[in-house]
A and B are shown apart, each in its own frame.
Chain A
Amino acid sequence: MTSLAELEELCRIRIFEEQVRELALEREVIGSVHLCIGQEAIPVGVCAALEPRDALFATYRGHGWALARGVPPEELFAELLGRATGTNGGRGGSAYLSSARHGFYGENSIVAGSAPIAVGAALAAKFDGSGRVSVVCVGDGALNQGAMHEAMNFASAFALPIVFVCENNLYSELTPIAAMVADPELWHRAAAYAMPGVRVDGNDVDAVRAAARDAVQRARSGGGPSLIEAMTERLAGHYIGDVEQYRPAGEVDRAREREPIGRLTSQLVASGVAPQHCEAASQRAAATIERARAAALHAPAADVSLVREHLYA
């Protein structure tokens, strides 16, 4: 069920991230920023399976998740630029932004820190009758933090409506995940919690969407949690400025042959979509992002007079 709309969504995230990289190199965006270039199919596929009432929690590499969840790119740019119109008025920054009105309950710069919180959203759903499903995205490295184990066990023990999504881009920050685990098939861990686990091609929107729909449906119908391991590759460094000396020569070039935008474009063309329609989708995405960036750059700086507010009720 691939579509031009999904291609445009992938392109929006890709172009947003490329623009963020530019803004960071121009010193307009200050501080640590972690891009998801190459990983766009996972948020797009998972968010396609969600309803507005669902609660999404992400990791620090979460701009793509925010965009896929419907957070306006202008607000995200503004947040990264430290503007008053940012999703969080500049307080969350790149690694801790949220937008509750879009069902996006936040990134987290503690890699597994969002998992227990997402479990709590699922726990609340058990009592509030909302039918809400909670989804948490973490990276491969997060599976080695203790909070992840606690969260998965807790969720499974109480059959809570949550989906754990692991974006496995093969690197835990700068170190290969394979060197840090005895079993690099991380989805195997689901068995320890008696929950379904599945590994999917995370560069394939269809595959991600299908796995997410299964997992969300199971959660919503009382079947409890599940784990989706989505395999992908980073086309960017861990952070902007990462020289990636740890990556073997040619690895990123080979990854470009498998990345989700080229892949979805080929699928669409093979199914009969005219190439110029794919190109038009990309151009629409570029125009949207360019407008958002310009608007954010014109927005007022975060208001210093408010810096002490919102600490306590």
Chain B
Amino acid sequence: MNHPALSGPVRFFGTCLADAVFPDAGMAAMRILDHLGCSVVYPLEQGCCGQPAYNSGFPEQARTVAMQQVRAFRGEGPIVVPSGSCAGMLKFHYPRLFADHPQYFEVAAFSERVVEYFDFLVNVLDARFEDKGPPVRVTWHSSCHALRETGSTQAAKALLGKLCNVELVELSREFECCGFGGTFSVKRPEVSAAMARDKVEDIRATGAQVVLTADCGCLMNITGTARKLGYDITGMHLAEFIWGRINEK
């Protein structure tokens, strides 16, 4: 990713899932930015990035929602997104979605400003944290879009590596999708469930106490599946985990 120059406030795109289901993750992510000396702004008019409609074959509705975000984030400076999937949508798919539309340049200028959260932390802020937590063994799940679109997985893992009491055990199939895929999980439930079950088994095989990720969609899918299967697996957004490690008493 290209990194927009840092001057003025950092605008935070919370994602619709963090808003509705994982506000702790969103709050932690903003507190970390604040902790690192950034001036964080949360535009209240924001919402979903539009990816569900876009991927389901409803580009028109996706464009309507996309323009809402473009307007909510008017101004300058970076827009940080704590989700590889939403970041990829905002950064790479918005320009495609508007390729033949009069709003193209406005949208492209918006997309230019988008950075995935951990990519921003590592490559723009050069973040370092003091790990005050007890020793813990964790594993890491990469969302497909963090892995293949924003390329931000490395940054997230690098950050994790800097926490001295945290041991990272890698998944044997990190490259494989957890089966969420937004509406895929309800449109092709049989396949999606099979993928989610395999992911949960892979996580169990690591013997880790916590599975971390940078995508609330995957998190909801993985923990929901684990619970349904009766497994006691803790899942957490990496931002929330880090915030906990910095503030451990």
Is A bound to B?
Answer: no
> Interface residues, chain A, CB within 8 Å of chain B?
none
